[in-house]
Amino acid sequence: MKITNLTTNRATPSKSLLICLMALFLWACEDNHDTNSNREQASIQNKTSIEEEKAKYETAVLISGTDGEDITHQLLTLKPGQVSDPTISIKIQKIEDSGVFSKKDNHITLNKSNNQPTSSDPLNIITLQFQKGEENCTLEVLAIVEDETNPKTRTIYQSPNKESQSTSNTTRATSIARNKTFLGLGYDVIKGSYINRNYAKMTRPILDLSKLNIAEAITQGDATQSTWDAKSGESVTTFFSNYNASINVGYKAVLFSGNVKTEFKTSKDGSKTNRYAKGYGKHYVKDEFLNNTAPATLRKYFTDDFLSTIQTASAAYILDNFGSHMLARCYQGGSAEFNYSYTGSTLKTDMEVVATVNATFKLFSGGSDFGYKEKISELQNNSYFSSYTHGGNNVSFIDQASFNAGYSNWVNSIKANPDLCGIGDFNQCLIPIWTLVAEVNAAKANAILQEFNNRVKNQEKTLGNYSTFITAINAWNQKGTDTPSGYTALVRTDMYSGNHGDVLDANHKAKGDYIRIGYLSQLKDSNHDAIADIVVLRGNNAPAPAGWIKIGYDLNKGAKGEYLYLAYRKVNANDTKAIDFIGSSDTGNPPSNILINSSWSWVKFSGSSEWADINKGCKNSNYIYLTVHKTDFKW
């Protein structure tokens, strides 16, 4: 019998079958690779970053237990719906307490029997460290130990020197929502306008509301008070100085001035603004305040965001994102303001403008005009008007008429829709942010104060230069010569109002050239091109004084009068006023000395106290005098 080699006589698979088997093997490997890859991806997604893990935990906890009890798990309280990541470790890094806690290894026990507590302050800070590999971060948890004999009792410290309360039905809040309070928010008192939510740092609080709630650190109560005030100033600098006159801080002249370019205009229909005025009505329905405003206590309420930012960010970044001050007391309700940039002539003083604004408000609120009908009409017809409301129904008053028609209805809607609308004493209601930062980082606090002072100086310049300053003047023959590019020809102007007339002929009735005088003007935050003074030079080819610029066109050219030339001087570091308007008097007789106010003055001959008649020496001609208006200037 032939023995057959089983190996060689075994049936051999076909080539196609081998290919199929190989494809099946590769598919299985690929499928297994995809499965493993998906599992790894899912694992990566499930592995939470330490910052995200930290955000899962409560930042304020109420501790209860008996002496010696381990309360570590109470400190590590997850927010509702959160699940911890076991790959991230949590350690107790530091305890700042009143002596009621004892730490051993990574556990904390109650130590109520301690006969020598380190502090009477019930606010205990426990610092947790989250770590994953080389990454780590910390979270401060505010822990308050309940009195086991009266679990609902808290020790609340009243702030010394607190402003007297005008509220009723006050209650300490324990579960207030962020959209129901503005306490603990930053506010920019330089870049913002007067207190309203638009300039409160809503998205990045300084104080943690959970911590404030658990410590019952907020008191809220009813407030039923309405106030009205009005202020005026010849320049925006004097306006804001008057507006903030009662505030006792060195930078009050720039407080709440950040919206100035929207609220006020330097001119209307070609006429210069002579007064800036604001009427402000506040209707309070709720008063709220922090019970303790000592920086050392407030430091225990800091948000994690604020704590980490003040350690790593620049002073400018901190001011931009958290504001310059923190709200420690404020009012909710409604506020309305209406702003006037008055270009008329009838209302000549701040007192007169304020009285008219007050009469206007009485008219808004349903009263009579009290004999101010003509002055109210004068103010309304000769002003750029802007208005804003906060709280109540979301209304927009686009002009004086709509304000008159809708004001009462808006007031009636405030109680149902209160909003941030005011403060009391500035120093008690707003805490400088650098005093808070100093509790954590003294060097950063000094840097923030320095940056704030720089911003104050810059805003002083902005307000000081909030005028369309005259930067150059010129003279030319109107016949056969175009007006120089960019120049505005001077017009015959009523010296007592600034109202415009016809274009001025500087040789009027002198039978000489048709001479035009023109000027360049511009509005800048810092303007070293502004003109400080103008004089008239007398004599053929008369030189200008040192530092002055002469205009080489004879103002009596073609007439038989004296040789007269304009000259001007630019501002320097010593100047506090600059020219923002040039007017003229073209009459058959010399003008009287009375001008609209002391900010106006007659242009004089160089080196003389004599007013300069620019038709000097011409027979049978009009008397033509130039006048200038000066406003506040900041170098």
* 319 and 190, same domain (yes or no): yes
Of 412, 445, 464, which residue is a domain's last?
464
Indicate if the pLDDT at residue 230 is higher than 80: yes
Q: Which residues contact 27 (CB under 8 A, 6 or more apart)?
A: none
Residue-wise pLDDT for 568-622, tens only, equals: 999 999 998 889 888 888 776 777 666 656 778 899 999 999 999 998 988 878 8
Greatest mean pLDDT among 370-379, 472-481, 607-616: 607-616
The residue-averaged pLDDT of 251-272 equals 88
User: What's the confidence (pLDDT) of residue 99?
Assistant: 83
Q: Which residues of 401-420 are buried (b: 16+ CB within 10 A; e: fewer)?
A: eebeebbeebbeebeeebbb
User: With bands split at pLDDT 50, 70 and 90, how would you rate the model's confidence at 119?
Assistant: low
Indicate if the pLDDT at residue 236 is higher than 70: yes
**CA 475/CA 486 separation, integer angstroms:** 13
Of 464, 492, 517, which residue is a domain's last?
464
Greatest mean pLDDT among 121-125, 233-237, 509-513: 233-237
Pairing of strands 135-145, 60-63: parallel
**Domain range holding 534?**
469-632
- HEC sequence for 418-445: CEEEECCCHHHHEEEHHHHHCCCCHHHH
* 564 and 429, same domain (yes or no): no
Of 425, 449, 464, which residue is a domain's last?
464
Q: What is the mean pLDDT of the chain?
A: 83
**CA 131/CA 549 separation, integer angstroms:** 71
Q: Which of 227, 206, 209, 226 is nearest to 218 (CA)?
A: 209
Q: Which of 251-255, 463-467, 595-599 has the lowest mean pLDDT?
A: 595-599
Q: What's the structural domain count of the chain?
A: 3
* 528 and 438, same domain (yes or no): no
Q: Which of 113-117, 242-246, 427-431, 591-595 has the lowest mean pLDDT?
A: 113-117
Q: Is residue 175 part of a domain?
A: no
User: What's the confidence (pLDDT) of residue 120?
Assistant: 56
Q: Is residue 25 part of a domain?
A: no
Q: Which of 50-54, 220-224, 368-372, 505-509 has the lowest mean pLDDT?
A: 368-372
Q: Is residue 28 part of a domain?
A: no
**CA 291/CA 160 separation, integer angstroms:** 10
Q: Is residue 153 part of a domain?
A: no
Distance of CA 302 to CAs 79, 322, 345, 440, Å? 18, 12, 54, 10
* 391 and 284, same domain (yes or no): yes
**CA 393/CA 334 separation, integer angstroms:** 10
More confident residue, 255 or 40: 255
Using alpha carbons only, give the angle 441, 255, 634 rounded to the nearest 5 degrees: 105
User: What's the confidence (pLDDT) of residue 554?
Assistant: 92
User: With bands split at pLDDT 50, 70 and 90, how would you rate the model's confidence at 443?
Assistant: very high
* 247 and 338, same domain (yes or no): yes
User: What's the confidence (pLDDT) of residue 39?
Assistant: 45
Give the CA count within 13 Å in the CB-facing half-sphere of 453.
8
Residue-wise pLDDT for 313-354, tens only, equals: 999 999 999 999 999 999 999 999 989 999 887 888 899 999
Burial (CB count <10 Å: 0-12, 13-18, 19+), residue 555: buried
* 221 and 268, same domain (yes or no): yes
DSSP letters of 322-386?
H-SEEESEEEEEEEEEEEEEE--SS--SHHHHHHHHHHHHHHHTT---TT-HHHHHHHHHTEEEE
Residue-wise pLDDT for 161-170, tens only, equals: 334 334 445 5
User: What's the confidence (pLDDT) of residue 365?
Assistant: 66
Q: Is residue 174 part of a domain?
A: no
* 492 and 429, same domain (yes or no): no
Q: Is residue 284 part of a domain?
A: yes
571 is written with which tokens? Answer: 């501002």
More confident residue, 402 or 247: 247
Residue-wise pLDDT for 535-555, tens only, equals: 999 999 899 999 999 999 999
More confident residue, 306 or 99: 306
More confident residue, 295 or 32: 295
Q: Which residues contact 260 (CB under 8 A, 6 or more apart)?
A: 236, 240, 462, 463, 466
**CA 213/CA 174 separation, integer angstroms:** 4
Give me the CATH number covering residue 619: 2.100.10.50
**CA-CA-CA-CA torsion sign (158, 176, 310, 50):** positive
The residue-averaged pLDDT of 36-64 equals 71
**CA 578/CA 534 separation, integer angstroms:** 11
Residue-wise pLDDT for 82-105, tens only, equals: 999 999 999 999 998 878 898 888
User: With bands split at pLDDT 50, 70 and 90, how would you rate the model's confidence at 506?
Assistant: confident
Distance of CA 276 to CAs 264, 425, 443, 546, Å? 7, 25, 41, 37
* 66 and 132, same domain (yes or no): yes
Q: Which of 8-12, 37-41, 458-462, 534-538 has the lowest mean pLDDT?
A: 8-12
User: What's the confidence (pLDDT) of residue 370?
Assistant: 66
597 is written with which tokens? Answer: 């106010």
Q: Which of 117-121, 210-214, 258-262, 430-434 has the lowest mean pLDDT?
A: 117-121
User: With bands split at pLDDT 50, 70 and 90, how would you rate the model's confidence at 233?
Assistant: very high
What are the residues facing 337 on neighbouring strands? 280, 388
User: What's the confidence (pLDDT) of residue 264?
Assistant: 93
Q: Is 216 left (phi over 0), alpha (psi -120 to 50) or beta?
A: left
* 475 and 441, same domain (yes or no): no
User: What's the confidence (pLDDT) of residue 13?
Assistant: 46
**CA 84/CA 76 separation, integer angstroms:** 10
Q: Is residue 379 part of a domain?
A: yes
Give me the CATH number covering residue 121: 2.60.40
- HEC sequence for 485-530: CCCEECEEECCCCCCEEEECCCCCCCCCCCEEEEEEEECCCCCCCC
User: What's the confidence (pLDDT) of residue 501?
Assistant: 59
Indicate if the pLDDT at residue 25 is higher than 70: no
Greatest mean pLDDT among 47-51, 84-88, 442-446, 611-615: 442-446
* 305 and 349, same domain (yes or no): yes
Q: Which of 95-104, 180-189, 197-206, 545-554 has the lowest mean pLDDT?
A: 95-104
User: What's the confidence (pLDDT) of residue 597?
Assistant: 64
What DSSP state is assigned to residue 254?
G
* 440 and 482, same domain (yes or no): no
More confident residue, 154 or 464: 464
Distance of CA 3 to CAs 7, 8, 9, 86, Å? 12, 12, 11, 67
* 362 and 473, same domain (yes or no): no
Q: Is residue 508 part of a domain?
A: yes
